[in-house]
Structure 1
């Protein structure tokens, strides 16, 4: 078909309607669905007016719903990040609290020769040079959270090592989009840095869960028996993540990406 004729018969207006997607926490999220003749691929965005799914002309509605379902974790994270209920980036000299281990520590600011963040008897103290930019603040904050998380793991790990076939090859702490932890075939263990923002018992459960994969690589009854032996209240901790997990990840994302 000649291109001028294609332009004449192609739809020029955006066609809009509504759809929805159910998140893992049970919430039903309303999504604006837009068929855009200029779009070349499926696209999911979140703005001030909520979630929007853009479909190219030839994409089916079924493909759109499948795309929504596959990206529901990302959608939940974006919605939580935009939630005004306390999930915001740190503002130097202004923010008064710092999330850590299931609590909000009182946060004080002072001028310093270099960026540093430490916990003391009065809460947390953040020192920044006068000309420190957002990158310096984010780097200091991430280093602080990683040091705190490693201190927790270092306190818990010796309790479990004697009953394991081997120790983890190494432990890495980093932000993770959907998982809370993973164990590679070579024994390298990864943990979500957002865990240090939540309740310590929940963090320890994730560590135990991944360590038990050194015994059983699957999620068989034998695996869960090993978890139960080390963490009898693992069901309560798992329920905690179902209720608060998205918020923890969104809070870390807001803190480290502003």
Structure 2
């Protein structure tokens, strides 16, 4: 009976030790796996933070780009309006220039008519002077004086008309010159307006490009931030799993240690039984 008990103690001790070793190995494996999961979670969390920062940066840049696009678009509208105003002013100046050209031509025509009348008056004045001399020679002094006076008056009118002709001709030339200057100004205004409208078109195109780039950056940033949230959640799950595995491994190691202690106790009991038998 004693030998049988010793054998039973010995077998039980061996079984318990085997179970202890197996439990210890499982515990170590669980702890190692848990530590690996915690390390992977830490790396994933680092990647998540980097992705979140990159996403926030892209969103900020995208929003800034869209704000700049709005401002450029507003400037484009302002420049376009200024271009339209310049063209309108240029057209008005060109129209005024054409009107002044017509006025210059009219003044020139009037001056030529005045010159013709001047020549006619001068001819009549000379004729009256000649008739006055004839009347005086024929003993008609009163008629001679009258004709001489009228001839002198017409002569003065003719001379004055010549001077006025020169003045109106100068006025005509001045008006024509002013018209040309106004025409130049009108052409410059139109050219400036066309240039501004071209610049406005370029600014509008740039505004659209900035808006598209801003929207794209914002979308990329939102995707990166969503991915960061997903990685953060996965990291939290890995942390939970790793902690659970480490806890389970620690529990298994504790059980293995207890089994090892039980195995040692059984071996001691078997040795005591053997000693009693002896």
TM above 0.5, yes or no, is no
TM-score by length of 2: 0.15
TM-score by length of 1: 0.16
The structure carrying a bigger strand percent of its residues is: 1
